[in-house]
């Protein structure tokens, strides 16, 4: 049985708190204004027995609660979180979701990339909040979708960003033979409402981003390079099914080190893109501070 932990998160609205779980609680999004509306949610019904609960929201891996003015959250939030942990760890149901409900209407189309070994599959919805790259099935333990994709013998690497999946293949087969099969598989996976990445992976990504933003302090030149990459380079690279990350700036040699991901990694045209695109742009915008751009994995 899963063991649940709850983290209390403040929101911009002082009347609402967010209770984040380390596992998914529901596939859909639910809002209840009173106990009568909560007939399909035993958890929400339990919460409404607390006299200060005004509204219950359940979505993904969190529950948000709106209070009446008779209490302050600081006085009751720990008790509410503890009750929630005990309820979930007792194996009680959160929401009785209709297993016969219609699948979510999802469309997925395939898009070629400059890298002949990589195909980009674009969905009509956001599938991940951050970038995820998996080089093999062992790295994909926190991604149900990536794990299933690696069961196809021709899948070499998997990359997620926003609303698309980039798949790198081995040379054992041609895209003409594979594209339709992969497109339909990804579409059906998303339409079934399955997790693309686990709640644990989402939390790790969130913590990693927050830690990086608080701990990493760049010099002015590095920060200027990062800003240029974010504004001018990343959108173009993402449209080709890849990503670029700033790694470091060597002031003495005036070298910019970057990491290429997704379709950009191992792409035959990546050297041309680096030298004639990114390097030229940085030189034009930053002058003699830039000598060259090097991809550490290019």
- Is residue 83 domain-resident? yes
**What integer pLDDT is reported at residue 247 of this predicted model?**
83
**What integer pLDDT is reported at residue 67 of this predicted model?**
94
CATH number at 196 reads 3.30.1370.70
Cα dihedral sign for 18, 19, 23, 24? negative
Mean pLDDT of the chain: 85
Banded pLDDT at 269 (limits 50, 70, 90): low
pLDDT at 214 > cutoff 70: no
**What integer pLDDT is reported at residue 100 of this predicted model?**
40
Banded pLDDT at 108 (limits 50, 70, 90): very high
**What integer pLDDT is reported at residue 275 of this predicted model?**
64
* Nearest Cα residue to 60 out of 270, 234, 222, 202: 202
Among 21, 56, 90, where does a domain finish? 90
Same domain, 228 and 196: no
> What is the pTM (predicted TM-score) of this model?
0.53
Among 90, 124, 152, where does a domain finish? 90
pLDDT at 2 > cutoff 50: yes
Structural domain boundaries, residue 275: 216-297
CATH number at 259 reads 3.30.300.130
DSSP element (H, E) containing 113: none
Tally the residues of the chain.
Answer: 298
Residue 245: exposure state from Cβ atoms within 10 A (0-12, 13-18, ≥19): middle
- Is residue 125 domain-resident? yes
Banded pLDDT at 99 (limits 50, 70, 90): very low
Q: Which whole number is the average pLDDT over 90-101?
A: 76
- Is residue 98 domain-resident? no
pLDDT tens column, 27-83: 878 889 999 889 899 999 999 999 999 999 998 889 999 999 999 999 999 999 999
Among 200, 232, 254, where does a domain finish? 200
Q: Where are the beta strands (DSSP E) in the chain?
A: 6-10, 16-21, 26-32, 53-60, 62-67, 108-112, 118-123, 132-134, 155-161, 164-169, 242-250, 255-262, 292-295
- Is residue 264 domain-resident? yes
Banded pLDDT at 113 (limits 50, 70, 90): confident
pLDDT tens column, 217-258: 788 888 888 898 888 887 877 777 777 888 888 888 988 888
Overall number of domains in the chain: 3
- Is residue 101 domain-resident? no
**What integer pLDDT is reported at residue 193 of this predicted model?**
85
**What integer pLDDT is reported at residue 12 of this predicted model?**
86
pLDDT at 154 > cutoff 80: yes
**What integer pLDDT is reported at residue 71 of this predicted model?**
93
**What integer pLDDT is reported at residue 64 of this predicted model?**
93
pLDDT at 282 > cutoff 90: no
Percent over 70 (pLDDT), the chain: 86
Taking the C-alpha atoms of residue 192 and residue 153, their distance in angstroms, rounded to an integer, is 23
């Amino acid at each position: 049985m899963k063991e649940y932990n709850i983290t209390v998160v403040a929101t911009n609205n002082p009347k609402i708190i967010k209770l984040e779980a380390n596992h998914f609680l529901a596939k859909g999004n639910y809002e209840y204004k009173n106990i009568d509306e909560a007939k399909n949610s035993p958890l929400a019904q339990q919460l409404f027995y607390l006299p200060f609960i005004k509204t219950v929201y359940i979505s993904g891996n969190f529950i948000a609660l709106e209070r009446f003015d008779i209490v302050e959250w600081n006085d009751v939030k720990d008790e509410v979180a503890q009750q929630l942990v005990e309820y979930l760890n007792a194996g009680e149901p959160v929401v009785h979701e209709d297993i016969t409900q219609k699948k979510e209407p999802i469309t997925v189309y395939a898009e070629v990339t400059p890298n002949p070994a990589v195909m980009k599959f674009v969905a009509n919805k956001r599938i991940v909040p951050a970038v995820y790259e998996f080089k093999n099935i062992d790295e994909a333990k926190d991604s149900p979708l990536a794990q299933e994709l690696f069961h196809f013998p021709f899948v070499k690497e998997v990359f997620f960003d926003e609303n698309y999946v980039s798949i790198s293949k081995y040379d054992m087969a041609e895209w003409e033979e594979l594209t339709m099969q992969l497109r339909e598989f990804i579409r059906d996976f998303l339409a079934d409402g399955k997790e693309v990445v686990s709640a644990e992976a989402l939390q790790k990504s969130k913590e990693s981003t927050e830690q990086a933003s608080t701990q990493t302090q760049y010099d002015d030149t590095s920060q200027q390079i990062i800003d240029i990459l974010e504004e001018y380079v990343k959108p173009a690279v993402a449209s080709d099914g890849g990503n670029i990350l700033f790694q470091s700036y060597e002031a003495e040699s005036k070298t910019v080190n970057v990491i290429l991901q997704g379709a950009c990694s191992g792409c035959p045209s990546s050297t041309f893109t680096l030298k004639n695109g990114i390097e030229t742009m940085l030189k034009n915008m930053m002058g003699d501070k830039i000598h060259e751009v090097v991809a550490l994995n290019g």
